[in-house]
Amino acid sequence: MNGRRRISGQPGDPRAHWLLVISAIVLMAGALILNGYAHNAVGETHPPAAPDGATAPGLDRVRRGGPVVNAAEGTLRSVRPRPGAIALTFDDGPDPRWTPQILDVLARHHAKATFFVIGARAAENPAIIRRMVAEGHELGDHTYTHADITSTAAWRTRTEMSLTQRALAGAAGIHTRLIRMPYSSTPGAVTVGQLNAMRTLSAEGYLTVLTDLDTKDWSRPGVAAITRAGTPYGGRGAIVMFHDGGGDRAQTVAAVDGLLTELESRGYRAETVTAAVGLPTAHASADSAERFTGTVLGLAQRGSNGFALTLTCLLALAGALTLVRVLLFVGLAWAHARRARRARRESPGGHRRGRAPVWPAPPPVSVIVPAYNEAAGIAATVRSLVATDYSGTLEVVVVDDGSGDDTARIAAGLGLRDVRVIRQPNGGKPVALNTGIAEARHDILIMVDGDTVFEPATIGNLVGPLADERVGAVSGNTKVGNRRGLLGRWQHIEYVFGFNLDRRAFEVLGCMATVPGAIGAFRRAALASVGGVSRDTLAEDTDLTMAIRRRGWRVVYEERALAWTEAPATLGQLWRQRYRWCYGTLQAMWKHRGSILARDPYGRRCIGYLALFQVLLPLIAPAVDVMAVYNAAIGDPLPVVAVWAGFVVVQALTGWYALRLDREKVSALWVLPLQQFVYRQLMYLVVIQSVATAVLGARLRWHTIRREGTFEHDLGIDAEAVAAADIR
């Protein structure tokens, strides 16, 4: 039943929220780009490249000179620390774990040091930067991302330097004129590329700081080896290179403590680089505009870092929850199928569960078909209902809900016995169903959509479980009839895997969420206990199921009761159908939220499951997908591809089992990998649209789905598909 009027006085579908979605995507992309830029190159410091033998004017002079170099055009000067002065320098920080420990060691020895900070790390840890400055230490620039500026373009080099200065301005209100190039070491190891970079940096006002003693602590050679490498000899002054970031620095912390103890006994004084070489402080005060810009940069950097970390956690959590759900539901479906097989063996003449009651004689049944503009398929639907092998009394009540086509005329013109056609003004599907319920003569009621056809054995199988007086409703097994195209195959897999497998598990858990409008059987007393079919939501079947279950009735699933329905044939039609389904489900969840507050086990399981797996996870799924692509782009893509392939394999195995349970051909699984790239994303967007519509308070109209008349000329649909789906 596809067409309905929108309730007047309610706002229509919102459109402005798509602007919010696009804005969120742009912000998310910006955050990931910033985080990727800041962290893609940051990590362990590599050994400096050996001199390549190339020469350039001034290169020999630099190699023979001191570790503090001014290589401005026309000028090439260098200086060394004075005798007895030791300048400890630390690269690749600040690190929130190791840098504070090094600062504590320095404080115990009343020593000063120079920290060449990575701008991104400084932006993420401004409190540590402020502590360094407050305790009298000196800061230097080590680029924003630990980039090798001997190979970067000029604009990238300027960007690296500028961003680090902004980070320092935002964190501590200062600039610095010291820089140490990543991957540099002693003057004797300077390459032509590094010399050219020094000239560029000196033109920008920087002094390049190399080192006299490279401890190579990044390789973690042991505390003793680090201490020996950092110890000057003969009373000479020295600049010593350590690292406070980029990895495990426990050895560095211990070595610095031991080295300072040794040097103090020998009369050395640990100073900043500028103090050790007799230059003015490297710090300059940043103006208010630079501080503001730096503060914004710091906030953006920390925000992007937190966002990326959150998405990574969500990626892991979503994957774990999805895997747990799949394994749990497969196990429950297996238990359901095993119980059903045992019941059929123990009670061959019955329809249900072991020693459960069976009808002494087939009960009289009324089938209600609400129809609105179903001319394309109503004849096939009614004929399939009449062509049943059910031996009990049967009537078919077709309720034409103000159709604008020939639905009523076609149904009445079939001339079939025990088929009544009732016409009424358009009032909506719930009104049509309630009309049918009121007009029906019998107490066992079956509700069927006007685009659905039954198998001959369906009615008998469907009403069998109602022999148990505790059962108030029975869900049948809905199949996709028009499954020849790619979209049809995707929906076929979804119906078997996502709907029917779930219903098996839901019955075992006692938390059935929906008896589908396409095929459902009800006890009149159960319908009366909830006041009939409500008009409160657009998912009247979910609303009705929840209401019946909350009244204490059991709701079960009968996999042998087959109904073939016509699925949407285009993406646009599918969007409109699923949009209504999702929005209506949200309405039903909100309407029955009291079951959670009342500590109703059904409400907790059913609504909790829907909220987690059909609302929350789909809402975050696009961000999780983006994060997966991001991780593949900035790092090794193999783990991401392996995880994705693993989930596809798990889904394929689950789909194989679900298809086997439904006696369907497993060859349909070939479209499953393709489903991950189009169909799944469409379903995510449907949830986003539905949640936005609900949050904004808009009232969704009933979207019309155009019927193709799939079953008009062939009640058996596809002969092979019907034969394969015949569950025994």
Q: Is the pLDDT of residue 113 over 70?
A: yes
- Type of residue numbered 229: A
Residues in contact with 501: Cβ distance below 8 Å, sequence separation at least 6, in sequence order: 329, 330, 333, 654, 658, 661
Distance CA 168, CA 563 (A): 68
Q: Where does residue 561 rank: exposed (0-12), middle (13-18), buried (19+ CB within 10 A)?
A: buried
Mean pLDDT of 656-673: 88
- The one catalytic residue among 39, 91, 146, 449: 91
Closest CA to 68 of 76, 80, 60, 57: 80
The angle at the Cα of 650, spanning 646 to 652, to the nearest 5 degrees, equals 115
Distance CA 492, CA 564 (A): 11
pLDDT digits (tens, 9 = 90+) for 223-235: 999 999 999 988 8
**10 pLDDT band (50/70/90 cuts)?**
very low
Q: Are strands 520-523 and 471-480 parallel, antiparallel or unpaired?
A: antiparallel
**45 pLDDT band (50/70/90 cuts)?**
very low
| Bridge partners (DSSP) listed for residue 397 | 368, 420
**356 pLDDT band (50/70/90 cuts)?**
low
**What whole-number percentage of the chain has pLDDT above 90?**
54
pLDDT digits (tens, 9 = 90+) for 288-343: 999 999 999 999 989 888 888 888 888 888 888 888 999 999 999 999 888 877 77
Residue ranges, CATH 3.90.550.10, the chain: 318-724
Distance CA 687, CA 308 (A): 23
Distance CA 721, CA 384 (A): 17
Segment among 134-148, 277-291, 660-674 with least mean pLDDT: 660-674
Q: 102 and 244 in contact (C-beta within 8 Å)? A: yes
Q: 402 and 372 in contact (C-beta within 8 Å)? A: yes
Q: Is the pLDDT of residue 51 over 60?
A: no
pLDDT digits (tens, 9 = 90+) for 252-270: 999 999 999 999 999 999 9
Q: For 414-450, what is the HEC assignment?
A: CCCCCEEEEEECCCCHHHHHHHHHHHCCCCEEEECCC
Closest CA to 159 of 41, 269, 71: 41
Helix axes 429-439, 540-550, angle to 10 degrees: 60
Distance CA 168, CA 130 (A): 9
Instruction: Kindly state the DSSP code that residue 230 receives in the 8-state scheme.
Output: T
Q: Where does residue 609 rank: exposed (0-12), middle (13-18), buried (19+ CB within 10 A)?
A: middle
Mean pLDDT of 169-194: 94
State the average pLDDT for the chain.
86
Q: Are strands 113-117 and 85-93 parallel, antiparallel or unpaired?
A: parallel
CATH number of 59-286: 3.20.20.370
Residue ranges, CATH 3.20.20.370, the chain: 59-286
- What's the Rg (C-alpha) of the chain? 37
Segment among 227-231, 512-516, 593-597, 722-726 with least mean pLDDT: 722-726
| Bridge partners (DSSP) listed for residue 366 | 395, 445
DSSP string, 129-165: HHHHHHTT-EEEE--SS---TTSS-HHHHHHHHHHHH
Q: Is the pLDDT of residue 59 over 90?
A: no
Class of 318-724 per CATH? alpha beta
- Strands annotated E in 437-553: 444-447, 452-454, 471-480, 520-523
Residue 702's pLDDT is: 56
Q: Is the pLDDT of residue 44 over 50?
A: no
Q: Is the pLDDT of residue 483 over 80?
A: yes
Q: Is the pLDDT of residue 635 over 80?
A: no
| Bridge partners (DSSP) listed for residue 166 | none
Mean pLDDT of 143-167: 91
Residue 396's pLDDT is: 96
**206 pLDDT band (50/70/90 cuts)?**
very high
Q: Return the SS3 of 656.
A: helix
The angle at the Cα of 477, spanning 476 to 480, to the nearest 5 degrees, equals 135
Q: Return the SS3 of 213.
A: strand
DSSP string, 299-366: HHHHHHHHHHHHHHHHHHHHHHHHHHHHHHHHHHHHHHHHHHHHHHHH-TT-SSSTT----SSPPPEE
Q: Is the pLDDT of residue 72 over 60?
A: yes
Residues in contact with 538: Cβ distance below 8 Å, sequence separation at least 6, in sequence order: 580, 581, 583, 584, 587, 700, 702
**439 pLDDT band (50/70/90 cuts)?**
very high
**Could you confirm whether 405 is annotated as catalytic?**
no
| Bridge partners (DSSP) listed for residue 178 | 207
Residue 700's pLDDT is: 60
Distance CA 394, CA 512 (A): 27
The sign of the torsion formed by the CA atoms of 65, 71, 74, 75 equals: negative
Q: In what order do the strands lie in the sheet with 365-371?
A: 419-424, 394-401, 365-371, 444-447, 520-523, 471-480, 554-565, 452-454
Distance CA 641, CA 237 (A): 53
Q: Is the pLDDT of residue 703 over 80?
A: no
Mean pLDDT of 405-425: 92
**705 pLDDT band (50/70/90 cuts)?**
low
Instruction: Kindly state the DSSP code that residue 494 receives in the 8-state scheme.
Output: I
Instruction: Kindly state the DSSP code that residue 464 receives in the 8-state scheme.
Output: G
Closest CA to 453 of 722, 165, 125: 722
Mean pLDDT of 680-697: 83
Q: Give the CA distances from residue 301 to residues 119, 164, 171, 648, 719, in Å, rounded to whole numbers and listed in that order.
A: 10, 12, 12, 35, 61
**Could you confirm whether 625 is annotated as catalytic?**
no
Residue 82's pLDDT is: 94
Token readout for 77 is: 């000067």
What is the distance between the terminal CA atoms of the chain, rounded to a whole angstrom? 30
- The one catalytic residue among 39, 146, 175, 243: 243
**524 pLDDT band (50/70/90 cuts)?**
very high
**721 pLDDT band (50/70/90 cuts)?**
very low
Segment among 3-7, 52-56, 470-474 with least mean pLDDT: 3-7
**179 pLDDT band (50/70/90 cuts)?**
very high
